[in-house]
Amino acid sequence: MLKILKYSFYDLSRSLWSYVYFFFYLLLGVVLLFLNNDLSNAVITLMNVIIILVPLIGTIFGVMYFYNSREFTELLLAQPVRRSSIFLGQYLGVAISLSASLILGLGLPFIIYGLFQSGAIWDFASLLISGVFLTFIFTAIAFNIALSYENKIKGFGLAILVWLFLAVVYDGLFLLSLVYFQDYPLDKFSLVASMLNPIDLSRILILLKLDISALLGYTGAVFKQFFGTGLGAFTSIAVLILWVIIPVWRIKYISAKKDF
Amino acid sequence: MVSITNLHKKFGSLVVLNGLNLQTPENGIIAVLGPNGSGKTTLIKSILGMVIPQKGEIEVNGERVKKHWNYRKNIDYLPQIANFPGNLRVLELIDMIKDLRGKEARDEELIDLFKLEPFLDKKLSNLSGGSKQKVNLVLCFMFDSPLIILDEPTSGLDPVSLIRLRKLIQQEKAKGKTILITSHIMSFVEEISDRIVFLLEGQIYFNGTVEELKTSTGEKDFEHAIANILTENHA
């Protein structure tokens, strides 16, 4: 698998898109620091961007890479290489290189600005960790979709829909149900509902880390009570890890059955 | 070498292989023939593990194919359509496959044989169909594996390269290898193959030498003998 990973990296390092993402994050970091003139504020603004954009980029890049490397995949399938190594190697190649673009692109301007001397370092770290998790989760989802659909248009469409659902529609439905059922106790429901969506979960984790959960109002108190504890932190990290493991396992499962 | 028992493969509702049985001899050139869509490529891809059959057993050199991958190091495969990652250069691709196999390779000799030196630094997306096929041939023949599978090896080749390919195949046969070939060029098949395996409706309709095929169909000419099978079964 390491050899496949190596060649996926090699392939991606020559792709213009990897650099576009890197420079995009770099520019974002520089501009936000310049505009906010303050590390903590920049981290909050950055959170809003990362929570929505990182999943989108992971989804699009994952689907695009998978469809574009079809020839490479077919070539590898006839070689003495395990099938799961081919697909997991390619997946890790994409996910790691996207994470590297994120970490380096955002990290460099913040370090130059004096991140290590400031108290915002852990807030920033939690931002990057959430970003890396979201990259791994959404790239895996993208690979799942691309493996299931031969038709590129269908695959792209579905991938975008999944992103749209988790990033926007889910919150809308969540909010509607809160309004609709407001006469009932909803703290357990809202806890579970936000745990089930990796985007919401990452957002809450970062907000709590930033200690601005007062912004969350009443539910914020409930969330703080739960996520602030050791059990809460453990559960949410475990859920994020599950969000990576389940789609990755499914990549292995579908690819073992697919005809090429 | 290759032993296939009761192989079934369906794509959706389309039955491609329907209880196919085949034993190949230890060495020699076996041509797999059949009309379009008769399952030649599916059969080859099943041997390689690229297509997963619904039922049946395939063994290569006594090793089961299902859920295994290591047996592929004893197979050299030439795909029908030379689809390569377009952003790689020819030499990079050759080095990559050598690295993946981790085996002794005679790439330089083959590059010389097919006169590919001027193309080594070109990107694969910029090569003509014939040149791509030559790269394909180099990748396939550079490892010394006991089983060689060639899916339409002649496509896109000029006459000079075709002669070189024929010679190359004969040389490999002389080393005692098993070579499976599919081709639509009947003169090519007649000239080089020791045995003919004819696929029809997902099963083996005929398995024997060229001479046996001619006598069983009552035709003097190989091309007509093949045409005879087809018209009889579609009449």
A83 contacts B69? CB cut-off 8 A: yes
pTM, whole model, 2 decimals?
Answer: 0.88
Q: Where are the domains positioned within chain A? A: 2-257
Q: Which of A3, A72, A80 sits opposite B70 (nearest CB)?
A: A80
CB A183 within 8 A of CB A151: no
Residue B50 Cα distances to B133, B139, B143, angstroms: 20, 18, 20
Q: Which of A3, A11, A71 sits opposite B83 (nearest CB)?
A: A71
Q: Which of A14, A76, A78 sits opposite B87 (nearest CB)?
A: A14
Kindly report the average pLDDT of chain A as a whole number: 87
Q: What is the pLDDT of residues B136-184, one digit of tens each?
A: 999 999 998 899 999 988 888 889 989 999 999 999 999 989 999 998 8
Say which range, A182-191, A197-206, B114-123, B142-151, has the weakest mean pLDDT: A182-191
**Residue corresponding to tokens 């990296």:** A9
Q: What is the pLDDT of residues B31-67, one digit of tens each?
A: 999 888 888 889 999 999 999 999 989 998 888 888 8
Q: Which of A79, A88, A254 should be substituted to probe chain B, the one whose Cβ sees the most B Cβ atoms within 10 Å? A: A79
Q: Which of B45, B72, B99 sits opposite A3 (nearest CB)?
A: B99
What does the DSSP 8-state code read for residue B89? B
Q: Which residues of A touch B (CB under 8 A)?
A: 3, 7, 11, 14-15, 69-72, 74-83, 256-260
How far is C-alpha A47 from the geometric centre of its chain's CA atoms? 12
AA identity, residue A62: G
Predicted complex ipTM: 0.84
Mean predicted confidence (pLDDT) in A8-14 = 82
Burial (0-12, 13-18, 19+ Cβ within 10 Å), B8: middle
Instruction: Write down the pLDDT at residue B235.
Output: 47
- Is B111 a residue whose pLDDT tops 90? yes
* A to B CB pairs, distance under 8 Å: 61
What residue in A sits closest to B99 (Cα-Cα)? A3
Can you give the three-state secondary structure of B158-184, one letter per residue?
Answer: CHHHHHHHHHHHHHHHHCCCEEEEECC
Taking Cα atoms as reference points, which of A160, A26, A3, A7 lies closest to residue A82?
A3
- Is A189 a residue whose pLDDT tops 90? no
Q: Are strands B195-200 and B203-208 parallel, antiparallel or unpaired?
A: antiparallel
**Residue corresponding to tokens 């620091």:** A33
Chain A partners of B83 at a C-beta cutoff of 8 Å?
70-71, 74-75
Q: Return the SS3 of B148.
A: strand
Q: What is the pLDDT of residues B61-91, one digit of tens each?
A: 888 888 888 888 889 999 887 778 777 889 9
The CATH number of residue B214's host domain is: 3.40.50.300
Taking Cα atoms as reference points, which of A145, A125, A139 lies closest to residue A97?
A139
Q: What is the pLDDT of residues A31-64, one digit of tens each?
A: 888 888 777 778 888 888 889 999 999 999 999 9
Q: Which two tokens stand for residue A199?
A: 């985007």
Q: What is the pLDDT of residues A111-150, one digit of tens each?
A: 888 777 777 788 888 889 999 999 999 999 999 999 999 9
Q: Which two tokens stand for residue A21?
A: 């993402």
Residue B92 Cα distances to A75, B34, B76, B88, angstroms: 14, 36, 19, 6
Q: Are strands B28-33 and B178-182 parallel, antiparallel or unpaired?
A: parallel
Expressed as residue numbers, the domain containing B145 is 2-234
The structural domain count of chain B equals 1
Chain B partners of A76 at a C-beta cutoff of 8 Å?
100
Q: Which residues of B touch A (CB under 8 A)?
A: 11, 45, 48-52, 67, 69-73, 75, 77, 79, 83-87, 96-97, 99-101
Chain A partners of B99 at a C-beta cutoff of 8 Å?
3
